[in-house]
Amino acid sequence: MSRAAQIEELAAHWVLRREERSWDEADEAQFAAWMDESDAHKVAFWRLENGWRAADRIASIGAPPRLVHDGFRSIAWTKPLALAASLLLVFTLIVMQTGLPFGGTSAPLSSAKFETGVGGHKVVSLGDGSRVELNTDTIIKAAVDEDSRAVWLHRGEAFFDVAKQPGQKFVIYAGARTITVLGTKFSVRRNGAEVVVAVLEGRVRVEDAPAFGADREATITAGDIAIAKNGNTVVTKSAEAVQSQLAWREGLLKFDGVTLASAAQQFNRYNRKQLVIGDVDASGLLIEGIFRARNVDAFARLLQNAYGLNVQDESGRFVLSSRRMASKTLPKQIRPELLAPQRASDAATDTGPDCGTGGSGCAVIPLSAPAPRVQTASQTTKAIREGRNWDVLHKLYPARALAAGEEGLVGFTVRLDSRGNPMSCKITHTSGHPLLDMETCKLILVNAVFKKPAGVTGSQQRAYEGVVNWKLPTTPLTAVPAVPKVIAEAQAPEELVCKRVQRTGSNIPSERQCMPKSEWLKASESSKRAYIDTARRNCGGTADCY
């Protein structure tokens, strides 16, 4: 790149950077220093800024969108996510707006600006036949001529259905990233310094913008999601994740085990009435399901009725907070909890502390007494309030099962190491609903908190049986059946096992990840290197370890 071209790139960067909400005194000082370095810097900046302001003036006075010669439809200026594409493109825009000569005729350029408010949704067509679908609170500017197609994403999210034009690039500028395509369908979301690209069809290249001085790039294809932030780009292959990322096109939000903090952030993008989380316990709840993005009231009711949260409807916001399990004033909401049993021969008929006999939606998880081996399937237990050996706190009714209206008793076996870490979970008794059965083990492994067992050290393990009596909020609570339905081995959901994954370059040495046992067994040795095999370390290599 020539010196003149570099100056134009940097000038375009400063024009667009000054539009950002995050512009501060440090940016102003850097900009002033750059301007003082050379008169060429000043000339380039003033020329591009003039064209930029002219485009905004045209948009503000309601100029007709058709600003071009034959064969070109108007297009939307996308939000300036990043630098201007090139001097030629911006200078052509200036010529068009000011009437200056350019080769004796005005340039065949179409340009426009489009935006949506909070909760808005709009589909626009560009001059080359491409279509852009704008999500909530989004601003884009775009320019198309015979040689180039460029879009600037200033903020928000947009889905692009790019018309194929052989030999003609389609470039999107989003902050410190550029996305280049030749014909594809994909979305780009900009959230401050973070840029997320999800590809539905075709192939795109994500790279650092030239004015930022780096040359990192990643090529992603259909089913890929790229998250670029702070000089790093992480690519994940997941067609399902791409579909979830694009659910907004149908007015939906799709959550697959995300925290309430993350879910609230997504809802707040679409609604003026905001969700505010009042404590850490509530923020960490896992949310799963499909929701209407613009119906925050219904989501708040679900959090109150199904997840047992306190929801305060204040002016312009919902304040969410958790209900402490020990509170004497807790309403009878869905509130599964573990109670350590006294002896394995008793039937599990107690409703548990504070559940009462007339409540609804309360589920009890009694675990069998510590034993060296797993008990037989019929040995359910009676929950007693004095037990202190193991404690589990588990507030979530499985969201998908709740939406499907599923309830019933689920029996399971959980294996724990000497530190109280769950190593595996397997369903032993069925509720009659495969989804509810499967989700039970997942939620226990994610949300269960176990005390370290007394008298268990080193590589020793303990296996415990438990029962969850899932009750919908509208169903009166009844006693747990003395003998739950034993599930056939062939019909049981696959056993889940937990491993520790080593996190290099982090203050947290490792974290636990759970997966189907077959997934772990099929993994290659190279992919297992990141994991610390807790079973080998704690079991001494016995046959039960995997």
Q: How confident is the model at residue 116 (pLDDT cuts 50, 70, 90)?
A: very high
Residue 428 in this model has a pLDDT that exceeds 80: yes
Average pLDDT on 409-413 reads 81
Report phi then psi at 121, rounded to 5: -155, 125
Average pLDDT on 472-491 reads 61
Q: Of the ranges 113-127, 346-360, 484-498, which one carries the lowest mean pLDDT score?
A: 346-360
Residue 538 in this model has a pLDDT that exceeds 80: no
Residue 273 in this model has a pLDDT that exceeds 70: yes
Q: In CATH, what is the architecture of 3-244? A: Sandwich (2.60)
* Whole-number average pLDDT of the chain: 66
Residue 74 in this model has a pLDDT that exceeds 60: no
Instruction: Specify the DSSP element, H or E, that contains 77.
Output: strand 77-78
Q: Are 517 and 495 in contact (CB under 8 A)?
A: yes
Contacts of 168 (CB under 8 A, 6+ apart): 128, 147, 148, 149, 182
pLDDT in tens, 145-198: 777 788 889 899 999 999 888 778 888 988 778 888 866 899 999 987 788 999
pLDDT in tens, 27-36: 777 887 888 7
The confidence score (pLDDT) of residue 445 equals 73
- Closest by CA position to 10, among listed 142, 38, 147, 197: 38
The residue type of 57 is R
Instruction: Specify the DSSP element, H or E, that contains 372.
Output: none
User: Could you state, in order of their start, the residue ranges of all structural domains in the chain?
Assistant: 3-244, 251-321, 341-546
- 443 against 53, higher pLDDT: 443
What fold does the segment set 251-321 form as a domain?
Phage tail protein beta-alpha-beta fold (3.55.50)
If you count them, how many residues does the chain have?
546
The confidence score (pLDDT) of residue 449 equals 54
Average pLDDT on 360-389 reads 29
**CA distance linking residue 422 with residue 448, whole number of Å:** 8
DSSP code for 542: -
Average pLDDT on 101-128 reads 71
Alpha helix (H) residue ranges in 66-211: 87-98
User: What's the predicted TM-score (pTM) here?
Assistant: 0.46
The confidence score (pLDDT) of residue 371 equals 27
Residue 135 in this model has a pLDDT that exceeds 90: yes
Percent of the chain with pLDDT over 70: 58
Q: Tokens for 47?
A: 């020329």
Q: How confident is the model at residue 1 (pLDDT cuts 50, 70, 90)?
A: low
**DSSP per-residue string spanning 334-363:** S--EEE-BS-TTS------TTT-SS-BS--
Residue 496 in this model has a pLDDT that exceeds 70: yes
Q: How far is CA 61 from CA 2, 79, 120, in A?
A: 38, 18, 22
Q: How confident is the model at residue 366 (pLDDT cuts 50, 70, 90)?
A: very low
Q: Round to the nearest angstrom and report the end-to-end CA distance of the chain.
A: 56
pLDDT in tens, 380-407: 232 222 222 333 333 456 777 777 888 8
Q: How confident is the model at residue 476 (pLDDT cuts 50, 70, 90)?
A: low
Q: How confident is the model at residue 533 (pLDDT cuts 50, 70, 90)?
A: very low
Q: How many CB atoms lie within 10 A of CB 57?
A: 11
- Closest by CA position to 419, among listed 534, 542, 259: 534
B/e letters for 402-418, b = 16+ CB within 10 Å, e = fewer, are beeebbbbbbbbbbbbb
Give ∠ CA 11-109-137 in degrees, rounded to 5.
65
Q: Of the ranges 342-351, 465-474, 502-511, 533-542, which one carries the lowest mean pLDDT score?
A: 342-351
Q: Of the ranges 137-141, 239-243, 407-411, which one carries the lowest mean pLDDT score?
A: 407-411
Q: How confident is the model at residue 138 (pLDDT cuts 50, 70, 90)?
A: very high
Residue 337 in this model has a pLDDT that exceeds 50: no
